[in-house]
């Protein structure tokens, strides 16, 4: 009888953990929903080059950065995500997730599975420490 109980308990635990493993955490789901909205409506307006002294040639030169690369970011007014164009990152201060971002690339975002694809390659969101990590 004990063996039957143990087998039943093991089966239930396996099913419960398998069901939990298939869904992304709620913070990741929230980040991916907002990243999906950001990626859909974000038009890159920042260029890393500027015209040189003779603009008729069509040549460009790199823009000098007066601030540190890790401090220059833009806040998306709709999603509140922070876009660091010189680092190629998008960061969410609410959930602590960040992801590498190329504005010229096309992304496919599967919110339920918690996966992001840049073309055919999977890009994994990274979690940083935040105030919402208290759980």
Distance CA 106, CA 123 (A): 12
Distance CA 79, CA 76 (A): 6
User: 14 lies in a domain?
Assistant: no
Report pTM: 0.60
User: 4 lies in a domain?
Assistant: no
Q: How far is CA 7 from the centre of its chain?
A: 41
User: 76 lies in a domain?
Assistant: yes
Q: Residue 84's pLDDT is what? A: 86
User: 135 lies in a domain?
Assistant: no
Tokens (6 digits) for 114? 């918690």
Tell me the residue range of the domain where 39 lies.
27-127
Model confidence pLDDT, tens digit, residues 36-72: 999 888 766 555 555 555 555 566 555 555 556 566 7
Contact (Cβ atoms closer than 8 angstroms) between residue 44 and residue 103: yes
Number of structural domains the chain divides into: 1
Model confidence pLDDT, tens digit, residues 73-87: 888 888 999 988 888
User: 17 lies in a domain?
Assistant: no
- Give the residues across from 117 on adjacent strands: 108, 122
User: 8 lies in a domain?
Assistant: no
Q: Flag whether pLDDT at 108 surpasses 90.
A: yes
Return the CA Rg of the chain. Answer: 22
Distance CA 21, CA 40 (A): 28
E strands, 3-110, are: 49-51, 60-62, 74-75, 82-84, 89-91, 97-100, 107-110
SS3 4: helix
Q: Residue 134's pLDDT is what? A: 42
């Amino acid at each position: 009888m004990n063996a039957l109980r143990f087998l039943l308990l093991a089966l239930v635990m396996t099913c419960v953990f398998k069901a939990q493993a298939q869904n992304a955490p709620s913070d990741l789901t929230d980040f991916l929903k907002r990243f999906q909205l950001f990626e859909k409506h974000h038009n890159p307006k920042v260029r890393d080059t500027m015209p040189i002294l003779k603009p008729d040639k069509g040549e460009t030169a790199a823009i000098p950065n007066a601030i540190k690369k890790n401090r220059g970011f833009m806040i998306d007014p709709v999603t509140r995500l922070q876009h660091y164009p010189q680092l190629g990152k998008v960061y969410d201060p609410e959930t602590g997730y960040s992801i590498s971002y190329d504005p010229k690339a096309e992304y496919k975002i599967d919110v339920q599975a918690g996966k992001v694809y840049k073309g055919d390659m999977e890009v994994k969101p990274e979690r940083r420490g935040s105030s919402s990590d208290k759980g």
